[in-house]
Amino acid sequence: MLVASLNFALMGFFVKRGAGQFGTTALVFYRSLFGLMLLLVMARKPLRAYATPHWRRHLGRSVSGLASLWLYFIAIAHLPLATAVTLSYTSPLFLAGYLHIAHPEESRPGLVVFLLAGFAGVALLLDPHITRGQWPYALIGLGSGFGAGVSYAQIRAMARMGEPDWRVVFYFTTFSTVVTGLALAFAHAPAWRWADLPTLVGLGLVATLGQLTMTRAYRTGIALVVANLAYATIVFSALLGLAGLHEHLAMQTWMGMAVITLAGVGASVWRPVRSGDGAAGR
């Protein structure tokens, strides 16, 4: 999950760099297109391996995942990188609520306490300097978190059905490429130059690696532990924003990141992941 978090932070960084030239739809398209090409090369599976009996689950995961991704890119384009990532990563709270309602037997009070501690860190990260004009984009970021939480639940269900990681990512990436490609066909797609290729390819590369490693994390780990470790994306994003985008953070923001990190580590120590203990997937 830490590897996935680093890749997702880099994805946000590439989106921030490309937001000035490309629209949100174009960035989602290129992220999906180059990711799909990479996945096809990495998978090297025969055609029959792509067949699945769980197409309804894949469709639900793809719709919620694409909606979440679209909203996430909009938030990144209009908010500081660390702030947009923080709002999107309220998704573990939505996942925890789902687990508590749908699977109360898996609810672990100790982990929930650490998850709430992570939310307190999120509150610290919400810098009070957000202007009135930025609040709609803050709500969009929260909507992205909700969509991601729904997506996690879908992947978790497919993992229990034995659906392989690569196929979950493949169908999501294919769906996103087709939908955003059709959207661009009816709009004026922004032109790109060869100088933009590293940004676009890098976006697809880190996004796909993040999807694969995150899916494996949710498959093999306890859902709420992995969800807490996902907060590391906020820390990585803040550092990338500082180093690459010159987004200076207030002391309150660094305190929030410290609280979130300690909450994630505490959740892991509270109940270490054991083979066969819990199952999840994204």
Contacts of 84 (CB under 8 A, 6+ apart): 12, 72, 75, 76, 78, 137, 141
CA dihedral (206, 208, 211, 212) positive or negative: negative
pLDDT reported for residue 218: 74
Tens-digit pLDDT profile for residues 112-140: 777 778 778 777 766 666 677 888 898 89
pLDDT recorded at residue 272:
40
Helices (H), the chain: 2-18, 24-43, 55-78, 81-88, 91-102, 109-125, 135-160, 165-185, 197-220, 223-229, 232-244, 251-270
Q: What is the pLDDT of residues 91-114, one digit of tens each?
A: 766 766 666 676 665 556 666 777
pTM for the structure as a whole: 0.80
Q: Do residues 149 and 71 lie in contact, with contact meaning Cβ atoms separated by under 8 Å?
A: no
Residue whose C-alpha is closest to residue 7's, from 232, 172, 241: 232
H or E element at residue 193: none
CA–CA distance, 172 with 231 (Å, rounded to integer): 23
Q: How confident is the model at residue 279 (pLDDT cuts 50, 70, 90)?
A: very low
Query: Does the pLDDT at position 141 exceed 70?
Result: yes
What is d(CA 181, CA 189) in angstroms, rounded to the nearest whole number? 10
What local confidence, expressed as pLDDT, does residue 104 receive? 67
